[in-house]
Chains A and B, each alone.
Chain A
Amino acid sequence: MAVRIFLIFFRVGAFTFGGGIAMISMLRHELIVGKGWTNDDDFAEDFALATSVPGAWVVNFALIHGYRLRGVWGAALAFLGVVLPSFVVIVVIAAFFFPWFNHPFAAAFLRGAAASVAGLLAHTAFTMSKPVLRKSLYLAAAVAAAALALIPSLNPILALLIVSAIVFFLLINSKKLRKKYVEDGQ
Chain B
Amino acid sequence: MTIILLLFWSFFIIGAAAFGGGIVTIPMIEYELVTVRGWISAAEFSELIAVAQMTPGPIAVNAATFTGFRVAGFWGAAFATAGVTMPSVIFCSILIYFLSRLRHIRWVNIFKKSVQPAVVGLVIAAVFIYGRSAVTDIWSALIALLTFAILVAFREKIHPVIIVICGGIVGIMVYVL
Contacts and interface: CB of A to CB of B under 8 A. Distances in A.
A115 B135 contact: yes
B66 A94 contact: yes
Contact of B164 (A44, A54, A117): A117
A70 to B, nearest CB: 13
Interface in B134-177: 134-135, 139-141, 143-148, 151-152, 156, 159-161, 163-172, 174-176
Contacts, number: 376
Given A150-B128, A168-B110, A119 B144 contact: yes
Interface string A151-177: 000011111100111011001100000
Contacts of B88: 53-56, 59-60, 63, 79
B119 A60 contact: no
B171 A85 contact: no
Contacts of A121: 123, 126-127, 130-131
B92 A64 contact: yes
Interface residues of B, number: 97
Interface in B13-58: 15-24, 51-58
A49 B125 CA distance: 18
Interface of A: 11, 13-26, 29, 33, 41, 44-45, 47-60, 63-64, 67, 75, 79, 82-83, 85-87, 89-91, 93-95, 98, 101, 104-126, 128-129, 132-133, 137-139, 141-150, 155-160, 163-165, 167-168, 171-172, 178, 181-182, 184, 186
